[in-house]
């Protein structure tokens, strides 16, 4: 009987290892909170990490080295000394570039409308059928966004299934009173991120993600000149997308992830492609115009 119990325990551990699709690093910061007892924040950090890394998010099997690298940094800005929390959540994910040690940022979002209830020591409740908690819904929403955008970089329009799941999370959460889930909460929130990623208007940006990574970055180590030519040919697409809906959520998230990388790609190129890239990017993404101005320098 004891041997059977050990076998079952090992089997469950094996299932848990196979279920891990994300390699999520979670950090909970409390610079504005005046308290000497940090135990509840440590408990929250552990619960978030266990939730993100313990659930099966992807449809296909994932080897340990294929887990998606991501960071969730939660800055608690207010706490009622009991169970109610307010904060800002920064989400970032990356994927490796072939034949290099470089990882390319794919998702970079700063969610400023994050309120939730958490009891010390509790696990995070969530299912895809209905809204149970804002903490669980927000975590699941961004896990699906990360999965979808990662898939889009490896397969043309490969993330659609996950974007649909993210939209289901957003739809279910609209029954709650929490901010960030409704269209009238602003144009840069979870509602609009899910809407943009499921909207055919933004398919060109999703196709850009695929070509940029698979036909650009992934061949950079073997043929940098060819990779830059591919990326240069893709850049005009970004201007067209920006003109369609100025201030939309998906382009904001895209440039938050890619602006610095795009500057680095062209920083040491010949003047003509460098200046052409600067002009296109400055018009498509004026919010990061100062970064692109650096491309004027030789």
Q: What is the pLDDT of residues 74-133, one digit of tens each?
A: 999 999 999 999 999 999 999 999 999 999 999 999 999 899 999 999 999 999 999 999
- Predicted confidence at residue 298, as pLDDT, reads 59
In a domain, residue 294? The reply is: yes
* Structure-block tokens of residue 226: 């060819």
In a domain, residue 249? The reply is: yes
In a domain, residue 267? The reply is: yes
In a domain, residue 78? The reply is: no
pLDDT at 281 > cutoff 70: yes
Mean pLDDT of 164-193: 94
**What's the pLDDT tens digit per position in 223-236?**
999 999 999 999 99
pLDDT at 65 > cutoff 50: yes
CB 257 within 8 A of CB 106: yes
Mean pLDDT of 185-213: 94
| Count: domains in the chain | 1
In a domain, residue 106? The reply is: no
Mean pLDDT, the chain, integer: 91
In a domain, residue 175? The reply is: no
- Predicted confidence at residue 8, as pLDDT, reads 37
Mean pLDDT of 40-66: 95
pLDDT at 217 > cutoff 90: yes
In a domain, residue 90? The reply is: no
Residue closest to 262 by CA, chosen among 210, 206, 217? 217
- 253-259 contacts: CB < 8 A, separation 24 or more? 253/107, 253/108, 253/109, 253/193, 254/205, 254/209, 255/285, 255/287, 255/288, 256/108, 256/109, 256/110, 257/92, 257/105, 257/106, 257/107, 257/108, 258/105, 259/285, 259/288, 259/291, 259/292
- Predicted confidence at residue 35, as pLDDT, reads 84
Domain enclosing residue 252, as ranges: 200-298
- Predicted confidence at residue 165, as pLDDT, reads 98
CB 293 within 8 A of CB 251: no
Confidence of residue 25 (pLDDT cuts 50, 70, 90): very high
- Predicted confidence at residue 2, as pLDDT, reads 36
Of 39-48, 160-169, 239-248, 286-295, the least confident: 239-248
- Predicted confidence at residue 198, as pLDDT, reads 97
Of 35-39, 149-153, 272-276, the least confident: 35-39
In a domain, residue 239? The reply is: yes
- 0.85 surpassed by pTM: yes
* β-pairing verdict for 68-79 and 84-96: antiparallel
- Partner residues linked to 169 by β-bridges: none
- Predicted confidence at residue 244, as pLDDT, reads 63
């Amino acid at each position: 009987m004891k041997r059977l119990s050990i076998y079952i325990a090992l089997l469950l551990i094996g299932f848990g290892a196979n279920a891990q699709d994300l390699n999520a690093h979670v950090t909970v910061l409390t610079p504005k909170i005046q308290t000497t007892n940090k135990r509840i924040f440590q408990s929250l950090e552990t619960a978030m990490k266990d939730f993100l890394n313990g659930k099966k998010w992807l449809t296909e099997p994932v080897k340990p080295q294929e887990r998606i690298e991501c960071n969730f940094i939660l800055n608690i800005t207010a706490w009622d000394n009991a169970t109610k929390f307010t904060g800002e959540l920064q989400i970032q994910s990356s994927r490796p570039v072939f034949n290099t040690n470089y990882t390319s940022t794919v998702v970079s979002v700063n969610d400023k409308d994050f309120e939730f209830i958490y009891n010390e020591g509790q696990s995070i409740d969530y299912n895809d059928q209905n809204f149970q908690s804002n903490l669980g819904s927000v975590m699941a929403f961004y896990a699906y966004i990360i999965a979808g955008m990662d898939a889009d970089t490896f397969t043309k329009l490969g993330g659609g299934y996950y974007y649909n799941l993210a939209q289901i999370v957003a739809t279910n959460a609209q029954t709650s009173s929490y901010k960030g889930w409704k269209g009238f909460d602003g144009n840069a929130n979870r509602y609009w991120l899910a809407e943009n990623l499921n909207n055919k208007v933004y398919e060109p940006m999703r196709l850009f993600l695929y070509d940029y990574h698979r036909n650009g970055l992934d061949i950079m180590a073997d043929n940098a000149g060819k990779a830059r030519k591919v990326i240069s040919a893709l850049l005009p697409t970004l201007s067209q997308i920006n003109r369609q809906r100025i201030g939309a959520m998906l382009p904001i998230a895209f440039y938050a992830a890619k602006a610095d990388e795009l500057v680095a790609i062209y920083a040491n190129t010949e003047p003509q492609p460098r200046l052409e890239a600067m002009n296109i990017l400055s018009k498509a993404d004026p919010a990061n115009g100062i970064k692109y101005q650096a491309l004027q320098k030789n």
